[in-house]
Structure 1
Amino acid sequence: MAIELTDGTIDKIVDKLITKGNDFAETESEKELRNTKDLLQHFRLLENHLSIDMPTVDDDTPLSKYEISLYSLLGYRVRTKEMMEFVTHILDRYGEICKAGIAEDERRYNVIKKLYLIDGPLTRTQLADQYGVDEKTIRRDERKAIDELSIMIFGIDALNDMSKTRRMSVHK
């Protein structure tokens, strides 16, 4: 049994599919951009993950379920270590770039450092008071630094995601 669709119905279906596709693309792009913020928010926990001693597994005996689980944990640790070394190198390089720039560039790096990377992080309000600026300025500094770090970490894909997100917000 065939269903007949009018041109109007087809247009509505196509519009709905495009809207859903754009919503999905925007959500996926935002997740990738947030990934940098999530990484910064959990930076100290990830460092802590690497500093805890892991049990060792004896290579000469058959593996039990417990030992297989330990191998999995060791794999997580290796991937975390590699990523943290890379991100630390990126953060160091970002700090060098910002310090070689103007005062706002250095403040932007310090905002990220003091919000996420130090023990006893500061609040946005504390940072605004410390730098003698509005809290909105601190939020702009944070957003811009996260965008720049996203590009340094994820390369061209981060730039593409930012352009998709901005294009979507313009069309709303």
Structure 2
Amino acid sequence: MSDNVEILIKKAAETAAKVALKTYEDKQRAEMKAINDRKLHNTKMLLNNYRLLSEHVDNATYKRDQIDTAEAINWINEMYDPNNKADAIVNSIKNSALKTKIMVAHINKMLKIYELYCHSENSPKMLRRYEVLEGRYIADARVRYEEIAEKWTVDVRTIQSDVKEAVKDFSQLLFGIDWLNSLQ
């Protein structure tokens, strides 16, 4: 083969490799963005439903420490009854109550960490972000944007922006190292 053909083949291969690598990296970025968007969506959903979930945990009929021996024996006997279909429903309810309790406990721990983090920054913006997160999603009664803006003497749009950033920060805590790895 002539030198020109070899050079042409080499350049074509390099170009093809660069295009393939760029395509692969773009696809990876898109997948990570979709995962991050899903985590952020889940964080918003959990925060929007925090009061309801917390209420569910506080009022769940089934709590592990409430089972007495007689009840446990009855459940065991029912499990061996081949005609018993209610057991699947009971197990589903128990599992739901337990999962909800674990999730609410995790949210509460991460809220404490976020509160400590915001206070350690010693920045009005970070203190405001914690207050916004707590007031909008955690407090017994939802605090309006206008009330927080008035207290901090800032525009309502600033408070709305603080909510967005606080939810992003909190999502990092909820999902831990997976979230941080995806940002790199």
Q: Same fold (TM over 0.5)?
A: yes
Q: Does 1:122 align with 2:143?
A: yes
Equivalent residue, structure 1, for 2:86? 66
After superposition, give the CA deviation of every residue in 1:8-56 in whole Å (9 maximum; x if it has no partner): xxxxxx9xxx989876654443121121111111111111111224267
**Structure 1 unaligned runs (5+)?**
1-13, 165-172
1: distance between equivalents of 2:94 and 2:41? 26
Select which of 73, 95, 101 maps to 1:81.
101
Please give the root-mean-square deviation of Cα atoms over the aligned residues, in Å: 2.9
2: distance between equivalents of 1:87 and 1:22? 28
1: distance between equivalents of 2:126 and 2:54? 26
Q: How does 1:100-111 map to 2 (within 5 A)?
A: 100=120, 101-111=122-132
Secondary structure in structure 1 of the residue aligned to 2:75: coil
Higher helix share: 2
Verify the 8 A CA contact 2:39 2:175 in the aligned structure 1: no
**Structure 2 unaligned runs (5+)?**
1-19
Q: How does 1:32-43 map to 2 (within 5 A)?
A: 32-43=39-50
Verify the 8 A CA contact 1:40 1:117 in the aligned structure 2: yes
Higher RCO (C-alpha under 8 Å, 6+ residues apart): 1
Verify the 8 A CA contact 1:98 1:106 in the aligned structure 2: yes
Verify the 8 A CA contact 2:60 2:97 in the aligned structure 1: no
Verify the 8 A CA contact 1:125 1:135 in the aligned structure 2: yes
> 2:113 is aligned with what amino acid?
R
Q: Does 1:97 align with 2:97?
A: no
Alpha carbons of structure 1 residues 53 and 78: separation in structure 2 relative to 1, 3 Å = closer
> 2:47 is aligned with what amino acid?
L
Equivalent residue, structure 1, for 2:12? none
Aligned residues: 154
Question: What is the TM-score normalised by the length of structure 1?
Answer: 0.73
Shift in Å, 1:90: 1.0
Verify the 8 A CA contact 1:95 1:109 in the aligned structure 2: yes
Question: What is the TM-score normalised by the length of structure 2?
Answer: 0.69
Equivalent residue, structure 2, for 1:54? 61
> 1:42 is aligned with what amino acid?
N
Select which of 30, 45, 62 maps to 2:37.
30
Shift in Å, 1:68: 2.0
Secondary structure in structure 1 of the residue aligned to 2:143: coil
